[in-house]
């Protein structure tokens, strides 16, 4: 991509985000970077309310330290840093809130039915379309900087055979015209809005929104960290964990991988 095109992307994004930028948010758009999350974590002390968008990441990071393939192929690699001013206990709900806010934005703007695989994977028709990586940096005093990274397959997606799971991209699921500035603008606005919700408002919204987004609800699942067999996912706990029923007893999962299981019909 030439520098003129990059400039056009930034101008278009600034135009679409003018109200957000007027409210005190800073925006940087770069051609290539190792990882937008890594960059904003390094700058966290001075990067309050900063959005960083890259056309390409050379070392994109996914959850649990896995790589996030980030070629310059029209996809979204976006991070937002905000000084939370909240206790860590309140922040546990943020990553769920961010993921729902992205799903809501895609549904609202592009009429896409977007589900969430707890806690942060975005799915369309059973195929992963994106994910959220939320990281924190302790600041002097008691404050915490939160760096929220969103990766979305907009115009293309990695080879499912290489990832060994079904993947898709937004453009395959809508007749509407989809471009990176539009997706970046709606997702950016959604992130900023979510971070400004009060804790009570966030909790109320999560409680009402999660069930219709929950891809695992009442599905058989495997939770390797619990060392049990097949369980049934039963929705969110009050503190953002995933409740899983094993032999009639509910256990709550807070971290690690949860996979959709299959029911043995033999």
CB 123 within 8 A of CB 215: yes
- Which positions from 1 through 40 interact with ligand BTN, judged by CB under 6 A? 35-37
What is the closest distance, in whole angstroms, from the C-beta atom of residue 164 to ligand BTN in the complex? 14
60 scored as a contact of ligand BTN (CB under 6 A): yes
Contact 156, 75 (CB under 8 A): yes
Q: Which of residues 87-146 bind ligand BTN (CB under 6 A)?
A: 120-121, 131-133
Distances (CA, A) of 16 to 21, 68, 75, 152, 197: 10, 27, 18, 19, 22
Residues facing 51 on adjacent strands: 27, 80
Name the residue number minimizing CB distance to ligand BTN: 131
Nearest to 149 by CA among 101, 78, 46: 78
Short-list 44, 37, 108, 105, CA closest to 77: 37
Does 75 interact with ligand BTN (rule: CB under 6 A)?
no
Residues facing residue 236 across a β-bridge: 242
CB of 75 to ligand BTN, least distance (A): 9
104 or 245: whose CB is closer to ligand BTN? 104
Kindly state whether residue 149 participates in binding ligand BTN, applying the rule CB under 6 A.
yes
How many residues sit close enough to ligand BTN to count as binding (CB under 6 A)?
A: 20
Q: Decide whether 36 or 171 has the Cβ nearer to ligand BTN.
A: 36
The residue (of 162 and 263) whose beta carbon lies closer to ligand BTN is: 162
Residue ranges that bind ligand BTN, judged by CB under 6 A? 35-37, 57, 60-63, 68, 77-79, 120-121, 131-133, 149-151
């Amino acid at each position: 991509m030439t520098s003129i095109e990059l400039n056009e992307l930034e101008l278009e994004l600034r135009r679409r985000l003018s109200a957000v930028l007027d409210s005190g948010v800073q925006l940087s758009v770069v051609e290539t970077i190792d990882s937008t999350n890594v960059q904003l974590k390094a700058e966290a002390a001075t990067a309050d309310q900063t959005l960083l968008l890259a056309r390409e990441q050379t070392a994109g990071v996914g959850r649990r330290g896995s790589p996030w393939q980030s070629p310059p192929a029209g996809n979204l690699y976006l991070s937002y840093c905000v000084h939370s001013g909240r206790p860590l206990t309140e922040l546990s709900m943020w990553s769920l809130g961010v993921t729902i806010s992205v799903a809501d934005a895609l549904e609202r703007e592009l009429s896409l039915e977007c589900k969430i695989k707890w806690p942060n994977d975005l799915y369309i028709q059973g195929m992963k379309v994106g994910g959220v990586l939320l990281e924190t940096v302790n600041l002097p005093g008691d404050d915490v900087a939160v760096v929220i990274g969103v990766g979305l397959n907009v115009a293309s997606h990695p080879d499912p055979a290489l990832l060994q799971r079904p993947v898709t991209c937004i453009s395959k699921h809508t007749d509407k015209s989809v471009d990176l500035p539009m997706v970046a603008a709606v997702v950016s606005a959604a992130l900023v809005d979510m971070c400004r919700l009060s804790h009570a408002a966030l909790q109320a919204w999560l409680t009402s929104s999660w069930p219709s987004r929950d891809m695992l609800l009442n599905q058989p699942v495997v939770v390797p960290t619990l060392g049990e067999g097949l369980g049934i996912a039963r929705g969110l706990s009050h503190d953002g964990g995933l409740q899983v029923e094993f032999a009639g007893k509910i256990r709550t999962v807070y971290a690690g991988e949860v996979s959709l299981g299959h029911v043995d019909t033999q």
